[in-house]
């Protein structure tokens, strides 16, 4: 190898390493083993025309928006018909949460959290609330930020027959520019809920977008996108 080639090869190694550390999967979220980095780029993508919530099964292998960029004045709800039990006993009676992921998209101007389910896609509802409370007990949920989103799924569960948790999850502190953290808020009688802590740059509510996709293994994914600025 000639001396002139060494700097070029070193540069290629650095570039490949950088690409690997920022890659996300086809859901637009990082694997749960990755730690959410702090992002510095400002949002540059303008908001699109708001769309009303829709219902229906997701198209396999494709991502589709079910609620366009908007600030929901009332909770945005997407309904799916789920026949319970979804599998005969001793199978799982409800859609089961198997994974939560987060991902940042500075170039597109949003951050994303996804919820992946084994079984059919449950109905879900997302809306701003003054405070997130736990299902059943009604205890306040501690979240970072100054604005809060409630994310609820039904019918759904995140535990198995022994009561053990079924989902791989990232750290609760996300640390993106506006999407600061998340927390579980309940898994009670077929209602599965979470809270998202946001920090809007101007103090007001941020536009959100909802979407769905189906992975090649049949897992159904629900995405909640939050504007970065």
List pLDDT tens digits, range 43-73.
Answer: 223 333 333 343 333 344 589 999 999 999 9
Give CA 222 to chain center in angstroms. Answer: 7
Q: What's the predicted TM-score (pTM) here?
A: 0.78
pLDDT in tens, 38-50: 333 332 233 333 3
* Mean pLDDT, range 97-109, rounded to an integer: 97
Q: What backbone torsions phi and psi does residue 70 show, to the nearest 5 degrees? A: -170, 165
β-bridge pairing 191-198 and 64-70:
unpaired
Which residues are CB-contacts of 143 (< 8 A; sequence separation ≥ 6)?
Answer: 132, 180, 181, 182, 183, 195, 196, 197
Of residues 184 and 19, more confidence is placed in 184
Tokens representing 199? 């920090």
pLDDT in tens, 18-34: 333 335 566 777 765 44
Put residue 14 in one of left, alpha, beta given phi > 0 → left and psi -120 to 50 → alpha: alpha
Q: Is the pLDDT of residue 172 over 90?
A: yes
Q: State the pLDDT at residue 32.
A: 57
Q: Is 169 helix (H, G, I), strand (E, B) or coil?
A: coil
β-bridge pairing 64-70 and 110-118:
unpaired
* Mean pLDDT, range 134-148, rounded to an integer: 93
- Cα–Cα distance, 131 to 141 (Å, whole number): 7
Q: Give the least confident one: 26-35, 123-132, 200-209.
A: 26-35
The percent of residues above 90 in pLDDT, for the chain, comes to: 66
Which residues are CB-contacts of 223 (< 8 A; sequence separation ≥ 6)?
Answer: 27, 28, 29, 63, 112, 113, 114, 209, 210, 211, 212, 213
Q: Is the pLDDT of residue 218 over 80?
A: yes
Q: State the pLDDT at residue 61.
A: 57
Q: Is the pLDDT of residue 171 over 80?
A: yes
């Amino acid at each position: 190898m000639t001396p002139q080639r060494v700097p070029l090869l070193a540069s290629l190694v650095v570039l490949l390493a950088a690409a690997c550390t920022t890659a996300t999967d086809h859901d637009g979220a990082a694997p749960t083993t990755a730690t959410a980095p702090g992002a510095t780029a400002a949002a540059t993508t303008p908001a699109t025309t708001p769309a009303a919530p829709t219902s229906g099964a997701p198209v396999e292998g494709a991502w589709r928006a079910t609620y366009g960029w908007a600030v929901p004045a009332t909770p945005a709800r997407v309904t799916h018909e789920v026949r319970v039990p979804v599998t005969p006993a001793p199978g799982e009676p409800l859609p089961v949460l198997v994974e939560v992921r987060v991902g940042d998209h500075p170039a597109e101007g949003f951050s994303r959290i996804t919820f992946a389910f084994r079984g059919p896609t449950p109905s879900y509802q997302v809306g701003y609330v003054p405070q997130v409370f736990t299902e059943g007990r009604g205890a306040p949920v501690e979240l970072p930020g100054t604005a809060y989103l409630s994310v609820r799924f039904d019918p759904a569960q995140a535990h198995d027959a022994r009561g053990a948790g079924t989902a791989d999850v990232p750290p609760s502190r996300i640390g993106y520019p506006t999407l600061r953290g998340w927390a579980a808020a309940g898994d009670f009688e077929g209602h599965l809920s979470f809270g998202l802590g946001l920090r809007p740059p101007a103090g007001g509510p941020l536009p959100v977008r909802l979407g769905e996709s189906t992975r090649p293994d049949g897992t159904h994914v629900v995405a909640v996108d939050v504007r970065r600025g």
